[in-house]
């Protein structure tokens, strides 16, 4: 299956690579540079003239062309992506600490800055483009074609900071007017978000499985460092949203193969021979719940579904009682985890 599809008057670019985005830029490439297939030269209305941009060889695109974003699409795209910022799927990417660069942040603060900046735009989201060709020193390799924007306009901001590398697709629709002028409209699609979730889930499962090889005491030592039970009983954590594989491994071991809600045995063993249970946060992480052993239980798939579909107050109370019973046992076994009290 080809990554890029050129179909008459539309060009579909699947899974924009990380180098095209400053959000997850590693090495090489420039945020905003998007690789296009060589067979799209005609699609882009190239004049074929070689020009120089910043000392680099480029192909001129017809000056009659117009390049634009569709604001409605862009706002919808941003709203879809927001969920991913909330659930922190994007934590796989680097975040920036600099306050002045807040829009670069892969968190809801960064998202908000970008969203508001696009929303405020009342004039058209048009930009200037050119096409760049890079030829490897090994001339037997085929040259690569990029499209990029001239100058410091909205294009760089949107492409470099709004798209999610590897998970965002770009559809470019070409409209030809009677006078031969072409308008290229860029549409962003967040269709790869399920993929993004799957990638993160896979990484989590792998890390959790490694942790399940440890003893429950070893796991407790790791999780208790993260939790600080103050004298008020309040729990503080350093990390939220980002599910900790040590916490999920611990709560599954703690459940000893039985569902924390119905008490029945896990329905089957996983590939490694561990009872299959699912981690559930009693207070949702998105609602400010902590990713700690005091807020997480291990449920059988049936109960987990039930909790999410018909989560009644009764069920929640039962889970909280279960957690309180565990906390009592943990306190007896390990004592207080509050280092302030110990000293």
Residues that bind Zn ion (CB under 5 A): 259, 261-262, 280, 300, 303
Nearest by Cα to 258 from 313, 214, 332, 322: 322
Minimum CB distance to Zn ion smaller for 247 or for 261: 261
Query: How many whole angstroms separate alpha carbon 105 and alpha carbon 103?
Result: 5
Q: Could you tell me whether strands 235-236 and 296-299 are parallel, antiparallel, or unpaired per DSSP bridges?
A: unpaired
Distance CA 180, CA 169 (A): 28
Closest to 303 in 3D by CA, of 289, 286, 287, 316: 316
Nearest approach, Cβ of residue 307 and Zn ion (Å): 6
CB of 108 to Zn ion, least distance (A): 21
Residue 311: CB atoms within 10 Å: 14
In whole angstroms, how close is the CB of 264 to Zn ion at the nearest point?
Answer: 6
* Residue 15 or 237 having the CB closest to Zn ion: 237
> Closest CB to Zn ion among 64 and 256?
256
Q: Which is nearer to Zn ion, 164 or 259 (CB)?
A: 259
Within 8 A by CB and 6+ apart from 304, the residues are 278, 280
At closest approach, how far in Å is the CB of 303 from Zn ion? 3
Residue (18 or 303) nearer to Zn ion, CB: 303
- Closest approach of Zn ion to the CB of residue 313, in Å: 16
Quote the distance between the C-alpha of residue 29 and its chain's center. 21
- Given the complex with Zn ion, which of 246 and 261 has the nearer CB atom? 261
Please give the Cα distance from 250 to 232 (Å, whole number). 24
Least separation in angstroms between residue 245's CB and Zn ion is 16
Sheet architecture: strand order including 34-36? 34-36, 144-149, 129-134, 56-61, 46-53
In 3D space, the residue among 93, 69, 29, 66 whose CA is nearest the CA of residue 158 turns out to be: 69
């Amino acid at each position: 299956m080809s990554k890029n599809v050129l179909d008459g008057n539309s060009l579909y670019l699947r899974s924009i690579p990380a180098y095209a985005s400053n959000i997850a830029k590693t090495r090489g490439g420039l945020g905003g540079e998007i690789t296009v297939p060589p067979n799209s030269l005609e699609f882009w209305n190239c004049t074929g003239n070689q020009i120089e941009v910043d000392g680099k060889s480029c192909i001129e695109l017809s000056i009659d062309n117009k390049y634009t974003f569709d604001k409605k699409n862009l706002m919808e795209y941003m709203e879809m992506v927001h969920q991913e910022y909330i659930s922190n799927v994007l934590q796989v990417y680097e975040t920036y600490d600099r306050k002045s660069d807040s829009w670069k942040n892969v968190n809801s603060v960064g998202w908000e800055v970008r969203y508001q900046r696009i929303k405020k735009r009342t004039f058209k989201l048009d930009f200037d483009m050119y096409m760049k060709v890079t030829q490897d020193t090994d001339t037997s390799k085929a040259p690569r074609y990029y499209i990029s924007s001239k100058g410091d306009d909205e294009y760089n901001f949107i492409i470099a900071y709004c798209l999610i590398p590897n998970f965002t697709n770009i559809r470019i629709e070409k409209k030809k007017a009677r006078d031969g002028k072409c308008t290229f409209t860029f549409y962003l699609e967040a269709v790869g978000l399920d993929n993004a979730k799957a990638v993160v889930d896979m990484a989590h499962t792998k890390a959790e499985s490694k942790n399940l090889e440890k003893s429950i005491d070893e796991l407790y030592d790791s999780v208790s460092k993260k939790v600080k039970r103050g004298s008020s009983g309040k729990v503080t954590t350093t990390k939220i949203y980002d599910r900790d594989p040590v916490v999920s491994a611990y709560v599954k071991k703690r459940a000893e193969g039985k569902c924390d809600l119905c008490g029945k045995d896990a329905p089957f063993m996983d590939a490694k021979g561990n009872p299959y249970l699912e981690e559930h946060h009693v207070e949702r992480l998105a609602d400010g719940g902590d990713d700690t052993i005091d807020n997480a239980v291990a449920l059988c798939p049936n109960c987990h579904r039930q909790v999410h579909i018909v989560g009644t107050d009764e069920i929640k109370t039962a889970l909280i009682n279960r957690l309180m019973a565990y906390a009592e046992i943990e306190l007896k076994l390990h004592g207080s985890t509050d280092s302030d009290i110990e000293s």
